[in-house]
Structures are given as C-alpha cells and as structure tokens.
Structure 1
Amino acid sequence: MFKVLLLELDGVLRFWDPTLTEAVEASYGLPAGALALAAFAPHRFDPALTGTIDDQTWRESVARNLSLDDVDTARAAVQAWMGPVGRVDPDVLDVVRLARTTVRVVLLTNATNRLQDDLERLGLTDEIDDAMSSAQLGLAKPDPDVFSRAALRNGLMFSEIAYVDASPVNIATAEILGIRSHRYVGVDEFRTFVDDVLIDA
C-alpha cells in the first residue's frame, strides 16, 4: 500500500527558461558556458548541494570566479542567472492535487538551502506535504542513502513509496532499492502512473 508520492521538483513540477543562461551570458559579455563552468565545478557546487555552505556563499564564490572586470558586475550576472525560480507546470500541479486527496506528496530534490524560499515564490508551500533537499539531508541523489533518509524521515518502508523523477540515473537507484518508480517524460504518462498508484493506496 502506497502512502507517499515522492517527487523530484525540477523537470517534473518546475521547469526553467531554456534561454536564460544564454541571455545572461550575452548581456554580460561572458563566453558561452561560463556560468555553468563557474557554478557547477564539483569543488564549488557539491558543498552547496549538500549543505556544507549556504546558497549565498556559493553564489559569491561563483561571482568571484567569473572573468568579469569587477566583482559587482559579476554578482549582478549571477543574480540575473540564479535569481529567477522557474515556473510550475499547472497540468502537473493538477495531478499533484489529485494525488494529495489520497496520499501524501513529498518533494525530494537536489537543492541548496534556498529551496524553501523557492517554494514560497512558486506558490507551492501549501500544495505539498513536505519537502526535503539534499542540503538538508547532507547527501545528493543518486546516492541511495538519500532515499533511505527520506524514508526514515517519513517513517516509511520503500514499498510504501512511489517515486517520480526525470533523471534515469535517479530512477535506476530508486528501483534497485525496491521503490516503485516512474521516469517523468510528460504529464499524460505521469497522470497514468499516479492513477495506478492511487489504486494501491
């Protein structure tokens, strides 16, 4: 019997403007790929993702590693890139609301400590039952212990969890643990999966 629908936020419920990175880099005279190179270098990104440093400290580090004339301009570029919070897919949200009539809906996402602020700005705070970030858990997906900690926090066995993610690697990890999982490819398939889950809830 399923008790929780566990969802990745990004690529399932939240989507980003695909033109944003290119637009910011063009606006600030940065070469293509400069923002991602500065932000996602493992030695810089991993501590933010697992909560060792906070989001603001990470942003400052990114700004100081951009090849711009002064740090204030670099900070402005980082803010223009990281400031937006994306958009919620209203059709996916409708399915989430349906699921909540029967099971708890919990987000499990790789995110810095800005997650709660993002959820408030997206209007999702009252649309879910709980949210867990990698920064809170101290581990990031696809580490299998992320799922163990999520289950423990909710007092669940893996067999009581249904999981949705857009990442095939994360889905594979969950399935190895015995969690019924669905790789998100579109709202219609997601709705079908949720309908099946609710039958067994």
Structure 2
Amino acid sequence: MIPFDAVLSDLDGVLRHFDHAAQADIEARYGLPLMKTALDPELIMPPTLGQVTEDEWFESIVAALGGDERARQAVTEFAQIRCWVDEEVRALLAKVQQHVPVVIVTNAMDRLEEQLDQLGLTYFADDVVSSAKVGVAKPDRRIYEIAAERAGAAPERCLFVDDRLHNVEAARALGMTGVHYRTYQDLAAVLTY
C-alpha cells in the first residue's frame, strides 16, 4: 500500500508541460525578454492570486515590453504556446487514485478550468486547489493546508510533488513528504508499490 493518505501534485512542470523551445524561439525572433518579464513577481502575482485576469496579465506584459505592435505580437504568440499532459505521470497518479485522493495544487489563473478541460483533465483529480480561487499561492503554507484539508488528510500524511524546490521545501516545513520533480522516475520511485 501507499504510505500516504493523499497525494498533492503540482500541475505545471509535473503533469502539464509547455514547449520551452518555442518560448525561446519567440524571444529570439522578437529580441524581447519575454519569459523574464512574464514571470516578474510584480506582473505574475496579481493574476496568480485572482486579483486580475489572465488577459490583464498578458496586457501588463505587453506594456512592460514597450507596448508596441512587436511586443503585442510576441505576447500573442506566447499565449498560444503548445502544452501537453505527461501521460506517464497521469497514468501513475490515476493508479494511486484508486487508493488515496489526488489533489492538484497549482499557482494558476482565472482560466484554469477551461485549460484543464482542453487537456482532458477536468474530472481527473479528486480536487483542484487553484491559487487564483483561494487567494494564496505556493509557497504560502495556507495553500498546502487547504489542499490537505480538501484531501481529508493530515499534512504529515500527504505526499507533495512539485518541480520547484522552494515549493517542496515549504511543504516539508509543514511535515509533508516532498518530492522535487525533475523526471518521471523521481515520482515513480516514491509511488511504486
């Protein structure tokens, strides 16, 4: 049996992946620091906390990049970058879900439900804790507490998986078992039973 009462998994970088080569290509073609700008905490935190929409975030990136037509076109392409589900991870989490709840815990924006639907993940997890809905984002301890509560598990009985080490460390500080996800094997090593 699995030695946890719940598995809490990040979405991006674990279950959903984006085409980073395409992101680099857009930056190179337009000569703009697109990713650095998009991920600037001042720009990304308001939509992540549900204070503004994803569209407003895109507009803030355009403005930060100069607000001209070139910046707008680069951001338009950025918004359309291909993403996909890691089917190995999905299959492993689905197998685990036969025994314990699986909850997605993600720093997301207002379109998360639409995106999950497009990926065929709408009914995949037992619950989804979206930062934009709950108003707190990883690594704030409250988002982990919300996820554990929704899973019906004590924090020390939860496995938390994320591709960002600081998010994993925050979960560990609450007593969760943390897996810093880099490859499928990182997760499989803990969940193979």
- TM-score for both structures, normalised by structure 2: 0.88
Cα displacement (A) at 1:75: 3.1
Check the 8 A contact 1:85/1:121 in 2, yes or no. Answer: no
Q: Shift of the alpha carbon at 1:98?
A: 0.6
Match of 2:147 in 1: 150
* Pairwise CA distance, 1:192: 2.6
Which residue of structure 2 lines up, in the alignment, with residue 78 of structure 1? Answer: 75
Whole-angstrom distance in 2 between the partners of 1:17 and 1:194: 27
Gaps of 5+ in 2: none
Give the letter for the 2:184 counterpart.
V
SS in structure 2 of the partner of residue 118 of structure 1: helix
**Number of equivalenced pairs:** 191
- Report deviation, 1:19: 0.9
RMSD of equivalent CA atoms: 2.0
Structure 1 CA distance for aligned equivalents of residues 17 and 37 of structure 2: 22
What are the superposed Cα offsets for residues 53-85 of structure 1, whole Å, 9 maximum, x if unpaired?
111111111122223643xx5333212112235
User: Alignment identity in percent?
Assistant: 32
Measure, in 2, the Cα distance between the counterparts of 1:192 and 1:41: 34
Question: Is 1:110–2:102 an aligned residue pair?
Answer: no
Q: Which moved more, 1:57-66 or 1:153-162?
A: 153-162
Of residues 155, 174, 188, the one that matches 1:191 is: 188
* Aligned partner of residue 20 in structure 2, secondary structure: coil
What does 1:173-188 correspond to in 2, within 5 Å?
Answer: 173-188=170-185
Pairwise CA distance, 1:146: 1.6
TM-score (norm 1): 0.85
Q: Which amino acid aligns with 1:21?
A: Q
Unaligned runs of 5+ in 1: 197-201
Matched, 1:94 2:91: yes
Q: Alpha-carbon deviation of 1:49?
A: 1.1
CA distance in 1: counterparts of 2:82 and 2:130, whole angstroms: 15
**Residue 152 and residue 85 in structure 1: after superposition, are their counterparts in 2 closer, same or farther (change >3 A)?**
farther
